[in-house]
């Protein structure tokens, strides 16, 4: 088993988390959250990868004759991409509304949102 894709996934995720923790701009924070999400794409694709496997199309193969890639992991990755794009669009829309209402995108200057 190759460890490199798992290390890349962890590095991308931790890079996004570091940017999220040190961000002083809401737009930058949304971008860092998208980078964290990209780490999950790499992780899911690394889990579903099989060396010397073919696409999961069984019209020309007898079942069990060759190894195939797991199609469930590919479907989960595609779903993850769609959900990530939707969440990013929603968060950016919220940042635009915060900028219009408060005139800033710095979370430290949003005193009205403190509890």
Torsion angle of C-alpha atoms 8, 9, 13, 19, degrees rounded to 10: 30
Residue 31 burial by CB count (10 A; 0-12/13-18/19+): exposed, middle or buried?
Answer: middle
pTM for the full model? 0.81
Give the pLDDT score at 113: 61
User: Under a CB-based contact definition with an 8 Å cutoff, are residues 33 and 91 in contact?
Assistant: yes
Say which residues have a Cβ less than 8 Å from residue 52's Cβ, sequence separation at least 6: 67
User: Under a CB-based contact definition with an 8 Å cutoff, are residues 37 and 84 in contact?
Assistant: yes
| Digitized pLDDT (tens) for each residue of the chain, 115 residues in all | 689 999 999 999 999 999 999 999 999 999 999 999 999 999 998 888 888 887 777 666 677 777 878 888 889 999 999 999 999 999 999 999 999 998 888 888 887 666 6
Give the pLDDT score at 50: 82
């Amino acid at each position: 088993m190759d460890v490199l894709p798992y290390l890349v996934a962890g590095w991308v995720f931790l890079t996004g988390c570091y940017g999220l923790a040190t961000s002083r701009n809401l737009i930058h924070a949304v971008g860092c959250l998208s980078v964290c999400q990209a780490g999950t794409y790499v992780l899911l694709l690394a889990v579903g990868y099989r060396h010397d496997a073919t696409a999961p199309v069984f019209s020309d193969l007898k079942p069990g004759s060759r190894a195939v890639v797991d199609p469930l992991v590919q479907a989960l990755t595609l779903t993850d991409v769609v959900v990530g794009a939707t969440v990013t669009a929603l968060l950016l829309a919220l940042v635009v509304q915060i900028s219009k209402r408060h005139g800033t995108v710095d979370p430290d200057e949003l005193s009205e949102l403190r509890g």
